[in-house]
Amino acid sequence: MKSPAAAVVVATLLAAFAVAPATADDKPAFVPDPKKGQALSTACIACHTADGSRGLPVNPILAGQHPEYIVKQLREFKEGKRRNAIMQGMVAALSDEDMRHIAAFYGSLKPVPGAARNKELIALGEQIYRGGIASKQVPACAGCHSPNGAGIPAQYPRLGGQHAEYTESTLRAFRSGERANNAQMMTIASRMSDREIQAVSDYIAGLQSR
């Protein structure tokens, strides 16, 4: 026969490990919907085209980009951590769920292939992307963004096929401090010359990251 004290211990343990019953307040996990994202992305078409592909080279290609990265950037535009007057206006009215729907839409699209165009700098660009610049303590881009530019979901963005002009302007912005939402990239870019930035940006444009 169990003592009263033992009964209390058993009851306490059972209560601790019991599964709480579902309540009316429980909500299912949020699942981003690419179709809703497509409907919400109509305002994005002017700069990023209807399918997020090869619009003006001053604007990034979004097709195939990791949704986690897109959401992070949209949130940081809204919070003012990343500054761009157009984008800050665009995200002002978006909810977090809206952002995740939009990101799911662009992430569902196939990456768009591009091409390197500067034959004089392609060797230098490849060297920097795959091996870094040891003398300047610039790490290889491939270490974070993968050898084919596909990146790593939730950590590092897809780069392969991106407009060379956009990548170049982004690296310059990190170098000058105009873009300050990634300390690692600010440090790396601060050690690179104009020629090195141009070379690696052009090389990245030709990477196939399907």
44 plus 102 within the same structural domain: yes
Helix, strand, or coil here: 133?
A: strand
CA distance 160 to 30: 30
List pLDDT tens digits, range 123-165. Answer: 999 999 999 999 999 999 999 999 999 999 989 999 999 999 9
103 plus 127 within the same structural domain: no
The pLDDT value given to residue 88: 96
Please provide the average confidence, as pLDDT, over all residues in the chain.
90
Tokens describing residue 29: 């996990």
- Contact call for residues 77 and 177 (beta carbons, < 8 A): no
126 plus 199 within the same structural domain: yes
Mean of pLDDT values over 17-43:
79
Residue 150 forms part of a structural domain: yes
Confidence of residue 193 (pLDDT cuts 50, 70, 90): very high
Residue 186's domain comprises 122-205
* CATH code of the domain containing 197: 1.10.760.10
Question: Furthest-apart CA pair in the chain: how many Å?
Answer: 89
| Last residue in a domain, options 47, 82, 108 | 108
CA distance 85 to 100: 21
Helix, strand, or coil here: 152?
A: strand
Mean of pLDDT values over 76-104:
97
Rounded to 5 degrees, what are φ and ψ at 138? Answer: -100, 115
pLDDT cut 90: percent of the chain above it: 82
Place of tokens 């500054």: 83
pLDDT cut 70: percent of the chain above it: 87
Residue 12 forms part of a structural domain: no
Mean of pLDDT values over 85-89:
96
Residue 53 forms part of a structural domain: yes
Residue 154 forms part of a structural domain: yes
Residue 50 forms part of a structural domain: yes
132 plus 191 within the same structural domain: yes
- The region of weakest confidence among 14-18, 64-68, 79-83, 167-171 is 14-18
| Last residue in a domain, options 108, 139, 160 | 108
CA distance 50 to 206: 22
Give how many domains the chain has, as a whole number.
2
96 plus 136 within the same structural domain: no
List pLDDT tens digits, range 64-74. Answer: 999 999 999 99
Residue 38 forms part of a structural domain: yes
Residue 1 forms part of a structural domain: no
128 plus 89 within the same structural domain: no
Rounded to 5 degrees, what are φ and ψ at 147? Answer: -55, -30
Confidence of residue 23 (pLDDT cuts 50, 70, 90): low
Residue 163 forms part of a structural domain: yes
pLDDT score of 24 more than 90: no
127 plus 200 within the same structural domain: yes
The pLDDT value given to residue 208: 80
| Last residue in a domain, options 108, 134, 160 | 108
126 plus 197 within the same structural domain: yes
68 plus 43 within the same structural domain: yes
126 plus 104 within the same structural domain: no
Nearest to 182 by CA among 192, 173, 193: 173
pLDDT score of 188 more than 80: yes
